[in-house]
Amino acid sequence: MVISEKMILPFFFIKRKFPGFKNMNYRTIFIILIFYMSSLNLKAQTVYDDAKNHVCLKCHASQIIKFQNEVTAKEQKKLMNPYYIIDTLGLKAGVHKSFDCTDCHSYDYTVYPHDGQLKLSPMSTCLDCHAGDPSYDSYQFEKINEEFQKSVHFKVSGEDFTCGKCHNQHTYHPTARNSGDVTEIVAYSNSLCLSCHNDMNRYELVSGHENPKIVQIHDWLPNQELHFKHVRCIECHTEVVDSLMVSHNILSKDKAVRKCVECHNTDSRLKASLYKYTNLQSRTDSTSIRSIFSNESYVIGAQQFPLLKKLSYLIIALTFVGIGIHLFFRYFKK
């Protein structure tokens, strides 16, 4: 490894500032700094391992909180608001596991009781951290935001409807990008929608009116259970955008897809939405009989086996030929 003059200057400052490094050569100081930075990163990644002693999670990971009441000078126990209880397993599996709470929330939250004014501060959005960051270009956060601003959610609620209304920043992980299981992708996506549309309190908090009855509204849909299990809500309730992996332009209910042929044909819109992921392409384009029977999310009309299709044409043609020959001999015999 070649160390240039520019690289030596910071280490020269360290040797003069800290006597302990005076007798060390620059290569040794460089190695020590690398190990030190690595330890900091490791500490960040394991910051939630000891939830009971974590300054935030010792309360927010439990249903019961304990604190010292300064008025009565006694220890008190109270039930934690269920909406403020953090899923620690989901937190450690999420994409933000390397960050501590105060990286996003005010450091003033480390003091309890919390100042009531802190709750009035606007929450950070995805763009506050990810906008303009080239390392996240593939996620297209700016494009997603443009599409979201066209959606019925933004038109009704405006800036009050943030990313966090659907995507929990504490536990979020990009299932659609990483999973090769269609049913897993569908279940995760639909759970985001139903967390509000199937919860009276959360729905009324955002919309201000009564929660719609999902089953009754979709009573026109044949075999609801099968559709909800194998198709995402957004397949019918969003405008498909080829340049985005997941469409965020949620349409109003009067513009939702209600025609079966939109999905159940060779040009199925599912190929431009649910089945457009690279890791699922082999399942949708495969022409083997085995792939059809092993695919749990097989869509009638959307996935066809070319050989069987040609064979069916041949059988139909031979049937008409047979009928023609039969009529021919019947006519001459008569």
pLDDT for residue 321: 92
- Measured between alpha carbons, how far is 234 from 247 in angstroms, rounded to an integer? 8
Percentage of the chain exceeding pLDDT 70: 76
Characterise 208 by phi-psi region: left (phi > 0), alpha (psi -120 to 50), beta (else). left
- Whole-number average pLDDT of the chain: 78
pLDDT over threshold 90, residue 246 = no
Q: 99-155 pLDDT, tens per residue?
A: 888 888 888 888 888 888 888 887 777 888 888 888 888 888 888 899 999 999 999
pLDDT for residue 306: 64
Q: Are 284 and 303 in contact (CB under 8 A)?
A: yes
Q: 16-62 pLDDT, tens per residue?
A: 545 555 556 556 655 665 655 555 444 444 678 888 888 888 889 88
- Measured between alpha carbons, how far is 183 from 227 in angstroms, rounded to an integer? 11
* pLDDT confidence bin for 216, thresholds 50/70/90: confident
Query: SS3 of 26, please?
Result: helix
Name the pTM for this structure. Answer: 0.66
Cα–chain center distance at 252: 22
pLDDT for residue 157: 87
In this prediction, residues 162-173 reach a mean pLDDT of: 88
Residues β-bridged to residue 65: 78
Q: 276-319 pLDDT, tens per residue?
A: 764 444 544 444 444 444 455 556 665 555 666 778 888 999 99
pLDDT over threshold 50, residue 76 = yes
Taking alpha carbons only, the member of 245, 104, 237 closest to residue 168 is 104
pLDDT for residue 18: 54
- Measured between alpha carbons, how far is 248 from 257 in angstroms, rounded to an integer? 16
Between the alpha carbon of residue 36 and those of residues 25, 42, 170, the distances in Å are 17, 10, 27
